[in-house]
Each structure stands twice: as C-alpha cells, then as structure tokens.
Amino acid sequence: MKILIAEDDRHIREGLIDLLDSEGFQTLSAPDGEEAIRCFREEGPEFVILDIMMPKRDGYAVCREIRKVDDSIPVIFLSAKSEEIDRVLGLELGADDYIMKPFGTREIIARIRAVSRRIHGKTKSSAAQFQMDDLEVFPLELRARREGDVIDLSARDVKILELLFNEAGKVVDRNTLFDQCWGQNYLPNSRTLDQHISKLRKLVENDPQNPRIIRTIHGVGYRYDKPEK
C-alpha cells in the first residue's frame, strides 16, 4: 500500500517514513500542503496521513482537495492541537481518524490497520482476497482469517503472501522476494529474510515446523503449492 505522509516537521516526517518503510509500506512524503496536493494528484497514494498545521496549505485545505478527487481514500489527521472543534472539523471534512501528537509507533500502525479494515472491509469482491491452503488473506485489510480466527499482518507480510500465491507451484528466489517485498534499493541480507519468514510462518501456518503455505526450497528460495483437489 502506498501512503502519502504530509508533515512539515522533518523529524516526525522522516520518523514516519522509516517506520512505515520497515512495515513494508511504500511511502511518499511532502513538507507542505501544496506539495502534498501535487504528490496526491501525480503519484496516486492509497492512504494519506496529514498534519494539520503546515505551510502554504493546511491539512484541512489538503483534505478538501483530496475529497474533490476521491471521497473514499483513507485519511488520518495528525495534530498537536487538542480542541474538540478541530477534531470535529477534521472529521466533517472527511477524515477517517484523528491522532494527537505525540504518538507511539504502535499506535500509528494500529490506526492505519484499523482504518484500512473499516474502509476496505466493506469490499467483498474476490479480487480483494485470496486463499492459501486453509488461510484466507485480505490484502486491503492487512489481515487473514482461519476458521474464524483473525490474524494481523504487516504490509510486507501481505506482499510476501501475494507473491507466493501469484507464483504458486514455482520457486520464488530470495532476490525476487527482496526486490518485490523490500524494494530494489534494499541491500539483501539473508538473516533479515529468514527471520521475517520464520515470524510470518508462526502467524499463518497451522504447524510452522511443517509449513504448507511457505515451503523452503533450500539454496534457492520459497514456494507455495496449491492443495490438490
């Protein structure tokens, strides 16, 4: 998922970029309202995080412009302002959530997931989900389900599962996993990949020691085999 971060405080902006990149999201950034509007129109993000007090155009003005183009894209406001009228105005303009500064990293990720689920969870189209063994994956909601149990996933988890699902029956080599799930500018590190796959298996496999969804092909990469009918 591509997320636009519009925030004039460089430290907060760069911190959010690092956080969301580490979670597997693709990030765009803007230091002021005019740049945020340009970036939204030209880059087409799928989620927007807006600071309210920004130079040139404030977050409210940016939100108005976004809603003229797309009334369904998720928008979260960030602000140090605490007055109720500001929260009400933000929500009336079409924001989906409102986070007060300072905030924790876990809170930001949890809010993004919650808003994504609320917005995209209404979509029941089969194009928005896929089945791997007995696991049903909902990419737009950043989660999976198995027999009624809900499993939270990161954006990178979803990318890995989608890649393996789309290449079912074929071995996906380690370099391809890094390029498509971490980004081509990421310097590959075998330990990073192995640790992430191990963590993901604990989430999505019934028996992580005998995986049916993410199978290791030693010396090459990983493979998902669709169950035989």
Question: What is the tens place of the pLDDT at every residue in 7-21?
Answer: 999 999 999 999 998
CB 52 within 8 A of CB 9: no
Phi-psi category of 69—alpha, beta or left, where left has phi over 0 and alpha has psi -120 to 50? alpha
| pLDDT exceeds cutoff 90 at 197 | yes
Q: Residue 15 corresponds to which tokens in the numbers above?
A: 């911190």
| pLDDT exceeds cutoff 70 at 106 | yes
Nearest in space to 72 (alpha carbons), one of 99, 45, 52: 45
User: What does pTM read for this prediction?
Assistant: 0.66
The pLDDT assigned to 62 comes to 93
The pLDDT assigned to 123 comes to 44
Q: Residue 11 corresponds to which tokens in the numbers above?
A: 């430290």
The pLDDT assigned to 83 comes to 52
| pLDDT exceeds cutoff 50 at 125 | no
φ, ψ of residue 66 to 5 degrees: the values are -65, -45
CB 52 within 8 A of CB 83: no
The pLDDT assigned to 215 comes to 95
Specify the long-range contacts of residues 112-115, CB closer than 8 Å, at least 24 apart: 112/3, 112/47, 112/76, 112/142, 113/141, 113/142, 113/143, 113/152, 115/47, 115/74, 115/76
The stretches of the chain forming alpha helices (DSSP H) are: 10-22, 33-43, 59-69, 84-92, 105-120, 155-166, 174-181, 190-204
Instruction: Give the end-to-end CA distance of the chain in Å, rounded to a whole number.
Output: 33
The pLDDT assigned to 185 comes to 57
What is the pLDDT averaged over residues 18-33?
91
Structural domains for the chain: 2-120 (3.40.50.2300), 126-223 (1.10.10.10)
The pLDDT assigned to 126 comes to 41
**Contact residues for 159 (Cβ-Cβ < 8 A; gap 6+):** 24, 180, 181
Q: How confident is the model at residue 73 (pLDDT cuts 50, 70, 90)?
A: confident
Cα dist from 214 to 100, 142, 148, 157, 169, whole Å: 39, 18, 21, 12, 11
**Contact residues for 185 (Cβ-Cβ < 8 A; gap 6+):** none
CB 48 within 8 A of CB 74: yes
Q: Indicate the average pLDDT of the chain.
A: 86
What is the pLDDT averaged over residues 146-175?
91
The pLDDT assigned to 140 comes to 79
